[in-house]
C-alpha cells in the first residue's frame, strides 16, 4: 500500500457494489452508519497507534473508534489528525501516542502481526480467525460465526 493510500481498484468497487446494500442494511440494523469510499488509506499508522493504545489498556476502544471513523465517517485513518483525535476521544495522550509511533516502537510488532496473518492464509479484510483454526472471510452473518463456534465446541476435548 502506498504511504498516502490508493484509489479503490475497479474490481473491488464492482464487488462492493454487489454486497454494499446488504452490508449497509446490516449496519443500519445495528444502529451503525456505513459509507462507501473510493479511497483506501494506508492503515500502517493506525495499526501502530492501536498497539500503543493496547499497551495503555485502550486497544479495543481505540480500534472501535478507528473503525467508525473509516467505515462510518469515511475519514483517512492514515492521517495523524484523525489518529490524534481518536486518541483524545478514548482518553489517551495524543502527543505521547504520536511520539511513540513515530519512534518506530511498534513497527516490528505490526510487521510480526502481518507475517502471522499471512502465514495462516489471511489475504483480505475483514478476516476473523477463531481459536487459531478457523477463518471467516468477509462480512458474514452471525450464523457463520455460530457455525464455527459449534465446530470448535465439537472439536474441543471435554
pLDDT digits (tens, 9 = 90+) for 12-29: 777 777 767 777 788 888
Residue range 6-119 forms a domain whose CATH class is alpha beta
Q: Does 157 have pLDDT greater than 80?
A: no
Contacts of 84 (CB under 8 A, 6+ apart): 94, 97, 98
Contacts of 24 (CB under 8 A, 6+ apart): 34
pLDDT of residue 27: 80
Return the domain boundaries, the chain. 6-119, 122-158
**How far is it, in rounded angstroms, from Cα 46 to Cα 71?**
14
pLDDT of residue 30: 86
Amino acid at each position: 500500500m502506498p504511504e498516502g493510500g490508493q484509489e479503490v481498484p475497479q474490481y473491488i468497487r464492482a464487488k462492493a457494489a454487489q454486497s454494499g446494500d446488504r452490508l449497509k442494511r446490516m449496519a443500519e440494523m445495528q444502529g451503525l452508519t456505513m459509507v462507501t469510499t473510493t479511497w483506501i488509506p494506508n492503515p500502517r499508522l493506525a495499526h501502530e497507534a492501536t498497539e500503543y493504545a493496547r499497551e495503555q489498556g485502550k486497544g479495543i476502544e481505540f480500534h472501535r473508534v478507528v473503525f467508525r471513523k473509516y467505515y462510518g465517517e469515511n475519514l483517512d485513518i492514515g492521517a495523524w489528525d484523525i489518529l490524534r483525535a481518536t486518541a483524545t476521544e478514548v482518553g489517551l495522550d495524543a502527543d505521547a501516542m504520536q511520539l511513540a509511533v513515530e519512534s518506530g516502537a511498534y513497527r516490528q510488532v505490526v510487521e510480526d502481526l502481518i507475517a502471522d496473518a499471512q502465514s495462516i492464509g489471511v489475504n483480505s479484510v475483514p478476516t476473523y480467525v477463531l481459536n487459531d483454526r478457523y477463518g471467516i472471510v468477509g462480512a458474514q452473518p452471525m450464523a457463520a460465526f455460530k457455525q464455527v463456534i459449534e465446530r470448535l465446541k465439537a472439536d474441543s476435548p471435554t
